[in-house]
Amino acid sequence: MKQRYNATIKTKGPPLPHPPRDKYSVLKHTFGFSGFRPLQEEAVDAILSRRDLAMLLPTGGGKSLCYQLPTLLMDGITVVVSPLIALMHDQVLALKELGIEAEMISSTQDRQEQQEAFAKAKNKILKLLYVAPERLANGSFLAWLGTLDINFFVIDEAHCISEWGHEFRDDYRRLGELRSAFPHTPIAAFTATATPKVREDILSQLGLRDPLILRAPVLRKNISITVRERDGGWRTDLMNILKKHEGESGIVYAFSRRQTEELAEFLSKKGLKCSAYHAGMSSEQRRSVHQSFLNDETQIIVATVAFGMGIDKGDIRFVIHTSLPKTIENYYQEIGRAGRDGIDSEAVLFYSGSDFFTKKRLIDEGGDPQYREMTLSKLRAAMDYATSEECRHKTIAAYFSDTITPCGDKCDNCLDTQGSKKEITTPARMFLSAVYKTGERFGATYIGEVLCGEEKEKILSNGHERLSVFGIGKEMSKSVWGTIAKRLVELGALEPDEYKALHLTPLGAEILRGKQSVHIREERLSPKKAEKKSKAPHPNAPAHYEEFRALRATIARENGVPAYIVFGDKTLYELAERLPQTREEMLNVSGIGEVKYERYGEVFLELSRNIKGNG
């Protein structure tokens, strides 16, 4: 593509000499937004009035701005506690691009870098200081913080403080000591995922005093959700999804390190810009993959759940799980990595009934019975979600005690026009009876052969041709019996052991006695899998979008920053749609404030003028 610009890019120097001192002006001048998003202004006002705050805001809801903006209107420094070093690094880089003095102190820095951060804080140069929670367990570090003029403490990912949460961390428990060490300093706690029990624990553990509690709806309207059974052809389905997102960034989650590496190799051989990421890699390798992904050099990351939480990248267009997640909290937070810039994105889950039992066996090996029971309950909720025929968004919301109406067109269940249900209680009882009468020692394939009346050597040697269930299911194919077996496993009526032999559960016994009914979607019983209709994951990009995107990539590469830090995709969409011709028109584009305009505005304005002039 021919380049149409030659303006000088201003990436050095301070922002405008007299930054504004009211929240609306700072919002536009520094962050480039003309208005607050839901609940942001309430959070900003609470912090400015020195009131404790507890905020539950979905990923992509603009959480960081809630504490970054008021910091600029206060004289002291704000201390942000985050468990994610990669995220701290990215946020510090983004703040510096906005002309805001920010630093982090972490174990990944050398002594000189840490000393420079300490000196900037002491000399009242810094506005925000990011630290890991374990740093606050150090008495001398707490004493040093006591010498600073601290505006307030921010506890990010606050759910980590609760033993009822999905990511409990001992380091976070120590954060309760902040209240006694700094009794007059406000605390603002933020999280994207918390059940009612976790929310109560956050308030209690942090000792928040009369906090303002803000809770946004769980619904992420710009994420389309699909759940599919992981059958023999799932990799073909995966490739079709990835082709639809050609040239876009995404994350594919796998269950184990081995699966991560195998899938990354498979996708790379298909010509995709793909890298693996897991905890078995060295910190340098992980850092390199992370940076490559931020810079759009790597398009797809295949990762264990060790990746994604620490990503401050707004233009992730798809998140794909290739195995059942451990909890709905994990799942919701992971799919929340997609579409943080507000543009339509996609989340797809491939699951199998065996996923539940593989993870259950790992849980059963744990020590504490109470913890086992809690973890198993969360896993069962994840399996119920995967097999549910209700609106996906509504099911997730209900888990977090939210009530919403069905999404209508943002999940597979709501889009499914072939979703009529068929009762299969009678064949289900046949199958369960066959499992029971063969001694609960065989897998689904064998049971299907018995029901179909196949006189195979193994069946004859076991004497199972003499059973009353032999041949009673001849009118149905073995593949249909296999589907019924899967449905019974999904419902928890059957449980396979490590050798895949099926065992009746209490629910299975209830169904067998005729006290419970069983239903399934008719389409699943068809020999040929029905294609579900799906809405396009995101609107077609406007004309000239790719030209603005190419310019952004050039600027990002020349200045050694990730592309999204220059401008987000949503800003590029607006530029391509509006084609602004003046400085004032540029400043009316969402995401472009005075600071960003001073750095990058003129070169994008020149491209916009050239496009319109040649149009």
pLDDT digits (tens, 9 = 90+) for 55-104: 999 887 899 999 999 999 999 999 999 988 878 888 999 999 999 999 99
How confident is the model over 250-293, as pLDDT tens digits?
999 998 899 999 999 999 999 999 999 988 888 889 889 988 99
- 496: part of which helix (H) or strand (E)? strand 494-496
Structure confidence at residue 189 as a pLDDT band (50, 70, 90): very high
* C-alpha–C-alpha distance, residues 497 and 491, integer Å: 16
Decide if 36-215 and 421-525 have a common fold.
Answer: no
pLDDT of residue 262: 95
- Is domain 545-614 given the CATH code 2.40.160.20 in the classification? no
Structure confidence at residue 533 as a pLDDT band (50, 70, 90): very low
Structure confidence at residue 306 as a pLDDT band (50, 70, 90): low
Structure confidence at residue 421 as a pLDDT band (50, 70, 90): confident
The CB-based long-range contact list for 266-275 (8 Å cut-off, 24+ gap) reads: 266/235, 267/242, 267/300, 267/302, 270/239, 272/242, 272/299, 272/300, 273/297, 273/298, 273/299, 273/300, 274/298, 274/299, 274/300, 274/301, 274/302, 275/300, 275/301, 275/302
pLDDT of residue 419: 54
CATH of domain 223-413: 3.40.50.300
* C-alpha–C-alpha distance, residues 467 and 261, integer Å: 47
SS3 (DSSP) at 602? helix
* C-alpha–C-alpha distance, residues 386 and 559, integer Å: 44
Taking 60 as the threshold, does the pLDDT of residue 590 lie above it?
Answer: yes
Domain ranges of the chain: 36-215, 223-413, 421-525, 545-614
CATH of domain 36-215: 3.40.50.300
pLDDT of residue 164: 62
Taking 90 as the threshold, does the pLDDT of residue 539 lie above it?
Answer: no
* C-alpha–C-alpha distance, residues 54 and 418, integer Å: 43
CATH of domain 421-525: 1.10.10.10
